[in-house]
Structure 1
Amino acid sequence: MTPEALESTVARLRKQGCDDAQVEVKACKSALSKDIWESVSAFGNTRGGTLILGLEENEGFKPVEGFDLNKVRDQFISGLEDGGNAKPKIANMPQYDLERMDFEGAQVLVVEIAEVEPRFKPCYVQARGLSNGAFKRVDDKDIKLSSTEIFELKHLLEPSPADREAVGGSSQDDLDATLTDRLLAREKERRSRALRGTDDRNVHLKRLGVVTASGTLSFAGLMSLGAYPQEFFPKLIVDVTVHPGIEKSEPDGPRFLDRVLCEGPIGEAVDEAVLAVARNLRTYSYIEGTGRRDELEIPRDVLREAIANAVIHREYSSSFVGQAVSVDVFADRVEITNPGGLWGGKTLETLGDGQSRCRNSSLMQLASRIDYSAEGAPAEGQGSGVRLMIREMQSHALDEPRFEAGIDYFKVVLQRGGMEIAANREWMGTVTARPLSSVERTVLLEARREQAISVKELHRQLGYDSDEIREALKTLEGDGLIKPLSKDKYEFANNSGRLSRSVSAREAILDVLGESDEPVGMRDIEEKTGKKIATLRAQMARMVDEGIVVPTAPPTDQSRKYMLKR
Structure 2
Amino acid sequence: MLDDELAEMIENLRELGDDHATVEAKRAGTKLPKSVRETLSAFANTSGGVLVLGLDEATGFQATGVQDAAKLAADLCAMCSEDMEPPLRPLIQTHRFEGVDLLVAEVAELDPAAKPAHCRGTSMAQGSFVRVADGDRKLTPYEVHVLLANRGQPREDEQAVPGTNIEHLDTPLVETFLSRIRRRRARAFAHLDATAALRRAKVLVADELSLAGLLALGEYPQEFFPQLMLTFVHYPTKTGPEPSSGARFIDNVAAEGPIPVILDEALIALRRNMSRRSTVLGAGRADTWEYPEAALREAIVNALVHRDYSAISHGTQVQVEMYPDRLVIRNPGGLHGSVSEENLGEEGTSSARNATLLKILEDVPLPGSDRPICENRGSGIPTMLAALREARLNPPRFDDNIATFTVTFPNHTLMGEEVVRWIGSLQEPGLTESQCHGLAMLYHGETLNNQTYRNANDLDSRIATSELGDLVSRELVVPTGGRRHARYRLAEGLVPEATEEHEDEAGALSQRTNRRKELLRALGDEECTRAELVNRTGLTDRTVSRWLSNLVREGVLAMTEPSTRSPNVRYRRTGQSTLDEAAEQ
Show CA shifts across 1:170-206 (max 9, x none). Answer: 122221222222322333444634444443x322221
Match of 2:305, SS? helix
CA displacement at 1:513 relative to structure 2: 9.4
Question: d(CA) in 1 for partners of 2:140 and 2:233?
Answer: 26
Match of 1:307, SS? helix
Q: Is the 8 A contact 2:80 2:88 kept in 1?
A: no
CA displacement at 1:510 relative to structure 2: 6.1
Match of 1:127, SS? coil
Counterpart of 1:394 (choices 383, 389, 394) is 389
Residue 248 (1) aligns with residue 240 (2): yes
- 5 Å matches for 1:348-497? 348-355=341-348, 356-375=350-369, 376-417=371-412
Uncovered stretches (5+) of structure 1, i.e. residues with no partner: 82-87, 287-292, 438-499, 532-566
CA displacement at 1:208 relative to structure 2: 2.0
Give 1:392's aligned amino acid: A
CA displacement at 1:509 relative to structure 2: 5.8
Question: d(CA) in 2 for partners of 1:193 and 1:236?
Answer: 34
Describe the shift of the 1:520–1:61 C-alpha distance in structure 2 as closer, same or farther (beyond 3 A): farther
Equivalent residue number for residue 113 of structure 2? 119
Question: d(CA) in 1 for partners of 2:420 and 2:27?
Answer: 58
Question: d(CA) in 2 for partners of 1:208 and 1:275?
Answer: 30
Q: Is the 8 A contact 1:94 1:115 kept in 2?
A: no
CA displacement at 1:420 relative to structure 2: 7.0
CA displacement at 1:343 relative to structure 2: 1.7
Give 1:16's aligned amino acid: L
Tell me which of the two structures has the higher relative contact order, counting C-alpha pairs closer than 8 angstroms and 6 or more residues apart. Answer: 1
Describe the shift of the 1:516–1:171 C-alpha distance in structure 2 as closer, same or farther (beyond 3 A): closer
Match of 1:350, SS? coil
Equivalent residue number for residue 54 of structure 2? 54
Describe the shift of the 1:530–1:279 C-alpha distance in structure 2 as closer, same or farther (beyond 3 A): farther
Question: d(CA) in 2 for partners of 1:141 and 1:107?
Answer: 24
CA displacement at 1:435 relative to structure 2: 6.3
**Across the two proteins, how many residue pairs are aligned to each other?**
448
Describe the shift of the 1:241–1:64 C-alpha distance in structure 2 as closer, same or farther (beyond 3 A): same
Describe the shift of the 1:75–1:236 C-alpha distance in structure 2 as closer, same or farther (beyond 3 A): same
Counterpart of 1:102 (choices 92, 96, 111) is 96
Residue 339 (1) aligns with residue 302 (2): no
- 5 Å matches for 1:499-514? 503-504=440-441, 508=445, 514=477
Equivalent residue number for residue 465 of structure 1? none
CA displacement at 1:155 relative to structure 2: 3.2
Q: Is the 8 A contact 1:267 1:377 kept in 2?
A: no
Residue 527 (1) aligns with residue 497 (2): yes
Equivalent residue number for residue 26 of structure 2? 26
Show CA shifts across 1:15-68 (max 9, x none). Answer: 333332232222233322211111111111122222222333324434548834
Q: Is the 8 A contact 1:158 1:359 kept in 2?
A: no
CA displacement at 1:261 relative to structure 2: 0.7
Q: Is the 8 A contact 1:90 1:126 kept in 2?
A: yes
Match of 2:311, SS? coil
Give 1:377's aligned amino acid: P
Residue 221 (1) aligns with residue 213 (2): yes
- 5 Å matches for 1:239-318? 239-249=231-241, 251-252=243-244, 254-283=247-276, 295-318=288-311
Q: Is the 8 A contact 2:334 2:401 kept in 1?
A: yes
Equivalent residue number for residue 539 of structure 2? none
Match of 1:279, SS? helix
Show CA shifts across 1:62-96 (max 9, x none). Answer: 45488344443332222233xxxxxx110123321
Identity of aligned residues (%): 34
Match of 2:40, SS? helix
Residue 13 (1) aligns with residue 8 (2): no
RMSD (CA atoms): 3.6
Residue 134 (1) aligns with residue 134 (2): no
Give 1:148's aligned amino acid: Y
Deviates more, 1:10-19 or 1:32-41: 10-19
Counterpart of 2:225 (choices 230, 233, 238) is 233
Match of 2:152, SS? coil
Describe the shift of the 1:110–1:204 C-alpha distance in structure 2 as closer, same or farther (beyond 3 A): closer
Uncovered stretches (5+) of structure 2, i.e. residues with no partner: 280-285, 426-435, 449-474, 482-488, 502-585
Match of 2:106, SS? strand
Q: Is the 8 A contact 1:243 1:328 kept in 2?
A: yes
Question: d(CA) in 1 for partners of 2:11 and 2:185?
Answer: 68
Q: Is the 8 A contact 1:156 1:345 kept in 2?
A: no
Match of 1:259, SS? strand
Match of 2:204, SS? coil
Match of 1:364, SS? helix
Normalization by structure 2: what TM-score?
A: 0.68
Give 2:74's aligned amino acid: D
CA displacement at 1:142 relative to structure 2: 0.7
Question: d(CA) in 2 for partners of 1:76 and 1:434?
Answer: 51
Equivalent residue number for residue 452 of structure 1? none
Q: Is the 8 A contact 2:53 2:66 kept in 1?
A: no
Q: Is the 8 A contact 2:66 2:101 kept in 1?
A: no
